[in-house]
A and B are shown apart, each in its own frame.
Chain A
Amino acid sequence: MTRTHLGVAALLSLLVGWFVFDGVSSLIGLPALYAQLGVDPVRVPWVALWAGVVLPVVLFVAAIVIVRREPLTRFTLVLIIALAATAAVRLSLIALATGSILL
């Protein structure tokens, strides 16, 4: 990995940081909201909440490990795909955790 690779990874990790921040917010906020609404604490979706915190980091680090020897363009593209996959998984986790589907 060159310095440019590290720079791109550092820049895109800001977005990973936001995903982690959002996951931690949900991890703290959703149980509190459930308690406020009088929902049984057993129904708090802890697995989905913790996955929301851990998965962004796991996907991003896995992408870096897989393409660390690739040219810069491909390296950047794969990291962006990892972020896009993180965004999709995050929405899936929210749907699974809250079950708030408006069909």
Chain B
Amino acid sequence: MPRPPVPDDDAALRWDEFDDSSHVKSDATIAARAAEETGGVEADDDASGATGETPAVAAAERPATGLRLLTAVFALVYLALTVGWIIGIGLVPLSGPTLAIEIMYQFSEFLAIIAAPLWFAAAVSRTRDGQRAAHRLGWLALGTLVLLPWPIVLGVLA
């Protein structure tokens, strides 16, 4: 009669259960195991190549810190634009002579309010790969000019 395996009290404290179906090997582990299996300097080169290349690729796909900072600044600007339009539509006294025109006026005011967040979301999502930083900043700067809430600006200047 075979003996039952000795219970391992420390099993729950380790993450190296290779037989577990949910186990995911990291790049470093894969490289280390490849080095163990093949042995020698050749495997070491592969391991260093694998570990050195992965962060570089990840860094290329991720936007730079400066771009993220500027995007955050633009996010605040666009938030201010949205608030500006919410206040600004109350400063433009528009009323339609008929119900249909009044509905269209209300709808266009709604569109004016959502213009800034939509523009920001589209500009960021179209340049998410971080390769087109100038494009993102250009689109966000253009949107700031186009969507400037002149009713508020005129009110402040008056």
On A, residues with C-beta under 8 Å from B are 18-19, 22, 74, 77-78, 80-81, 83-96, 99-103
- Chain A residues closer than 8 Å to B12, beta-carbon distance: none
Of B104, B118, B146, B151, which is within 8 A of A91 by CB?
B151
Q: Is B35 an interface residue (CB 8 A)?
A: no
Chain B residues with Cβ below 8 Å from A92 are 148-151
How far in angstroms is the closest Cβ of chain A from B88?
Answer: 7
- In Å, the complex CA distance between A57 and B151 comes to 23
Residues of B within 8 A of A (CB-CB), count: 30
Contact A89 to B146, CB < 8 A, known contacts A101-B151, A103-B155? yes
Encode contact with A along B89-122: 1 for CB under 8 Å, 0 otherwise.
1111110000000001000110110111011001
A95-B109 CB under 8 A given contacts A18-B104, A88-B147: no
Which one of B91, B112, B114, B148 lies within 8 Å of A101 (CB-CB)? Answer: B91
Q: Is B154 an interface residue (CB 8 A)?
A: yes
A90 vs B94: C-alpha distance in the bound complex, in angstroms?
Answer: 12
Q: Interface of B with A (CB < 8 Å)?
A: 85, 88-94, 104, 108-109, 111-112, 114-116, 118-119, 122, 126, 143, 146-151, 154-155, 158
Please judge, given known A-B contacts A92-B148, A92-B150, whether A84 and B91 are in contact too, CB under 8 Å: no
For the complex, what is the distance from the CA of A76 to the CA of B112, rounded to whole Å?
Answer: 17
Please report the C-alpha to C-alpha distance between residue A50 and residue B118 in the assembled complex, in whole angstroms.
26
Q: Kindly identify which residue among A19, A22, A88 contacts B146, using a CB–CB cutoff of 8 Å.
A: A88
In the complex with contacts A90-B108, A96-B154, A84-B92 CB distance below 8 A: no
Top-5 shortest CB links A-B: A84-B115, A87-B111, A92-B150, A103-B155, A87-B108
A94-B147 in contact (CB<8A): no
Residues A88 and B85 in contact, CB atoms below 8 Å apart: yes
Residues of B within 8 A of A77 (CB): 118, 122
Q: Once bound together, how far apart are the Cα atoms of A55 and B40, in whole Å? A: 69
Note all chain A residues with C-beta closer than 8 A to B122. Answer: 77-78, 81
A103 in contact with B94 given A80-B118, A85-B119, A85-B146 (CB within 8 Å): no
* Bound CA–CA A100/B146 (angstroms): 20
CA distance A87 to B119 in the complex (A): 13
